């Protein structure tokens, strides 16, 4: 894991792309820190989450549930359902983490949407390893520093509603999720789920309406490429998702 | 509030999702259908969070200023505006509407 040989293995364009992703994530991280602390959470919460959870979407989601008055367990369940998508990413990058056990344990924490996407772009084994560790380590450092700076800045903000910061939280999430809504079935599922969640909000304890949105999965359809496959309907395939939801 | 045990639970569960592949990758394969469902589930939850976060406060309506701000941010994001602009424009819209007396 010599950093210089990692960097030499990668093309200039790849390194530039990694830097751009780090920059974008730094802004998301700073917003996360600022919104958490200005919303009333103690400083250690966003910092501990960023080091230990290290998955931006779920961090925002869990804090969002809690700041809207939801219970801690609802926040955990929401974050876990979101992070269940890391499961397939782990299988995608498994070849990169072959080797001593400590490498797998450390590397696993660095699996993110971004590092998995960079690995997918490379075919050669050496490059896959290089891009994974470079992107993973860079993101981990940048993300945590950005969250710290954002959290310190967030502590200095007075009236958050007067600044419209309550709108910043859904705005960040919307910007994060839009690129994954290109598929029509995903859009339908998301729309059905959102309507269900909003409609249930007056009646359910805070935090649960968002989990109720998972009924939208009934409209998820089949994988785009797999429609022609001989795959039989497998109700068990849906199990892990719903199990996470009630944890 | 977010107690320490909740942070640790979320962290441990997330780490388990991450570690399963590197530990079991050569013995187990995920079905295409499960991969698809997990990806859609993430999108469904995020959109639900956007909707409830934009429209509701506690058990009621959040007022017009916040959803208007989120709408402006969404339009800018669709037009591929840079991330900081998206967020600042959303917050500024809500702030300005409140300054004008819109709830």
Buried-state track A176-200, b at ≥16 Cβ within 10 A, e below 16: bbbebbebeebbbbbbbbbebbbeb
Question: Lowest-confidence range among A15-19, A69-73, A243-247?
Answer: A243-247
pTM: 0.80
| Residue ranges of domains in chain A | 3-154, 183-223+234-247
Q: What is the mean pLDDT of chain A?
A: 85
How far are the Cα atoms of A101, A189, A222, A225 from residue A228, in angstroms, in the given order? 39, 21, 10, 7
Indicate if ipTM > 0.90.
no
Q: Which two tokens stand for residue A64?
A: 């969002």
* Closest-CA distance of chain B to residue A217, Å: 7
pLDDT digit string (tens) for A64-73? 899 888 899 9
User: Are A198 and B52 contacting, i.e. CB atoms less than 8 angstroms apart?
Assistant: yes
Are A180 and B39 in contact (CB < 8 Å)? yes
Contact B91 A107 (CB under 8 A): no
Which residues of chain B lie closer than 8 angstroms to A213, CB-CB? 44-45, 47-48
Could you tell me how many residues make up chain A?
247
pLDDT per position as a tens digit, A77-91: 999 998 998 998 898
**Residues of chain A contacting residue B32, judged by C-beta atoms under 8 Å apart:** 223, 225-226, 229, 231
Q: pLDDT digit string (tens) for B39-93?
A: 898 889 889 989 998 999 888 999 999 999 999 999 999 999 988 899 899 999 9
Beta strand extents in B10-101 (DSSP E only) = 56-57, 60-61
| A95 contacts A122 by C-beta, under 8 angstroms | no
Residue boundaries of the structural domains of chain B:
1-29, 31-99
Instruction: Name the band, by pLDDT with cuts 50, 70 and 90, for residue A231.
Output: very low
For chain B, the average pLDDT equals 91
Tokens in use for A147? 């969250």
Q: Is A14 on the interface with B (CB under 8 A)?
A: no
Task: State mean pLDDT over A181-203.
Answer: 95
User: CB-based contact (8 Å) between A76 and chain B?
Assistant: yes
- What is the pLDDT at residue B59? 86
pLDDT for res A225: 54
Residue A105 binned pLDDT confidence (cut-offs 50, 70, 90) = very high
């Amino acid at each position: 894991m010599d950093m210089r040989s990692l960097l030499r293995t990668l093309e200039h364009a790849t390194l530039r792309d990694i830097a751009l992703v780090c920059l974008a994530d730094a802004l998301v991280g700073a917003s996360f820190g600022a919104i958490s602390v200005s919303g009333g959470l103690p400083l250690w919460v966003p910092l501990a989450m960023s080091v230990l959870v290290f998955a931006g979407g779920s961090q925002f989601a869990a804090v969002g549930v809690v700041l809207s008055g939801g219970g801690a367990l609802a926040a955990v369940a929401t974050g876990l359902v979101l992070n269940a998508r890391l499961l397939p990413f782990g299988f995608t990058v498994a070849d990169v983490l072959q080797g001593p056990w400590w490498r797998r344990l450390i590397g696993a924490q660095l699996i993110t949407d971004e590092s998995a996407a960079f690995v997918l772009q490379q075919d050669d084994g050496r490059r896959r390893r290089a891009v994974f560790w470079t992107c993973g380590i860079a993101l981990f450092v940048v993300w945590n520093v950005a969250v710290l700076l954002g959290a310190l800045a967030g502590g200095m903000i007075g009236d958050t509603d007067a600044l419209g910061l309550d709108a910043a939280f859904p705005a960040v999430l919307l910007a994060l999720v839009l690129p994954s809504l290109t598929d029509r079935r995903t859009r339908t599922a998301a729309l059905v789920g959102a309507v269900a969640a909003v409609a249930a909000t007056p009646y359910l304890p805070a935090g649960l309406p968002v989990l109720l949105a998972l009924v939208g999965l009934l409209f998820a359809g089949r994988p785009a490429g797999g429609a022609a496959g001989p795959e039989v309907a497998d109700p068990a395939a849906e199990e892990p998702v719903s199990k996470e939801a009630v944890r | 509030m977010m107690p320490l045990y909740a942070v640790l639970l979320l962290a441990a569960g997330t780490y388990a999702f991450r570690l399963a592949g590197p530990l079991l990758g050569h013995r187990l394969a995920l079905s295409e259908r499960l991969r698809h469902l997990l990806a859609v589930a993430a999108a469904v939850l995020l959109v639900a969070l956007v909707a409830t976060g934009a429209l509701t406060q506690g058990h009621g309506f959040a007022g017009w200023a916040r959803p208007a701000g989120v709408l402006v941010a969404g339009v800018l994001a669709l037009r591929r505006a840079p991330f900081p602009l998206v967020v600042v424009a959303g917050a500024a819209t809500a702030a300005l509407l409140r300054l004008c007396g819109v709830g």
